Homo-oligomer: A and B are copies of this chain.
Amino acid sequence: MYQNQIIIDGLQYCNWTRDYFITLRDSGITAVHVTLAYHEDARQTLSLFGQWNRLFEQNSDVIIPVDGVSDIALAKASGRVGIIFGAQNCSPIDDEIDLVEVMRKQGLLIMQLTYNNQSLLATGCYERVDSGVTRFGKQVIKEMNRVGMIIDMSHSAERSTLDTIEISTRPICISHANPTFAHDALRNKSNDVLKALGGTGGLLGFSLYPFHLPNGSQCQLSDFCEMVARTADLIGVEHLAIGSDLCLNQPQSVLEWMRNGRWSKSMDYGEGSSSNSGWPDALPWFDAKNGMKNIYQGLLEHGFAQEEVNQIIGGNWFNFLELSLKK
């Protein structure tokens, strides 16, 4: 039964209000990977932690912070939603290796090495040339491995991702992206990357963001399940999960911050375009209330075994977190 499972959404960036926390809880989600920062530097990231501390204080009956899988088990047992913090960029560590451990201690469990652009660590998926992991990047990967901070390459370029999988002594994740074979987009991942990821114990979270899906907002649940099935054939079901990339109730200004940060004076449209600059239309079968449950049912109907569906819907994330957060 859906409601008995550990349900984990491996990426959301919604407008975090009490109402939305209650929606999350009522949807049956046990834990969610929340994007804390996109372009915020170390100092600004402290303020973001501070704002979340207030949310925890004010909503302790609905949400709890996750520092390890025992907190997810506690969330499940107490009918609350565990909040797993990640950054979609390496901006929270500035240019300072020691801030990896500082941010980990503050509760940042997951960090992307890049967000679309070249970073100090590696190359993002929209750059013309992918030069791979940098000198600083190698040091940071080693340090993230040491302190138990999870490496996420969702927005990184191919060679940088393959480099990282090779350098890292721990499995990494691609928390929210889809296979290129299902939809050819710069943000999606080649079979080479997927095989290297799975071959080292890594995790892929399938994205529900229309720009990452075949036929965009018209993608059907059965198409989505077929993509999952083909990826399971390629790398094994134990490496598959969900990272919906759900961004609900956010104004256009947030989309522009995600896409432009402080780095561009002219508007960058990311996966959109000047004639299609807004949030994409939501998938009718993936809303906040029933999205994960619909996927759960869809996968069962598509022919996945119960145990496989349990893994994809949260069990794999739980096991991956358990292994990855150990020091």
Interface size grouping (class) on chain A: 10 to 19
Chain B positions within 8 Å of A105 at CB level: 49, 105-107
- Chain B residues within an 8 Å CB radius of A107: 105
Per-residue B-contact encoding for A30-68, CB less than 8 Å = 1, 0 else: 000000000000110011011101100000000000000
Known: A106-B105, A106-B106, A107-B105. A99 touches B42 (CB 8 A): no
B-chain residues with CB within 8 Å of residue A42 when the two chains form the complex: 43, 46
Contact of A50 among B43, B53, B102 (CB under 8 A): B102
23 contacts between A and B (CB under 8 A): A42-B43, A42-B46, A46-B99, A46-B102, A47-B96, A47-B98, A47-B99, A49-B98, A49-B105, A50-B96, A50-B97, A50-B98, A50-B99, A50-B101, A50-B102, A51-B98, A53-B98, A53-B101, A53-B102, A54-B98, A105-B105, A105-B106, A105-B107
Binding site for B on A (CB under 8 A): 42-43, 46-47, 49-51, 53-54, 96-99, 101-102, 105-107
A98→B51 CA distance, assembly (Å): 7
**Contact: A102 with B49, CB < 8 Å?**
yes
Looking across the interface, which residue of chain B has its beta carbon closest to that of A41? B43
Seed contacts A46-B46, A50-B99, A50-B102; 9 additional CB < 8 Å A-B pairs:
A46-B102, A47-B98, A49-B105, A50-B96, A51-B98, A53-B101, A54-B98, A102-B106, A106-B106
Tell me the smallest distance from the CB of A133 to a CB of chain B, in Å.
22
Output the least CB separation between A160 and chain B (Å).
25
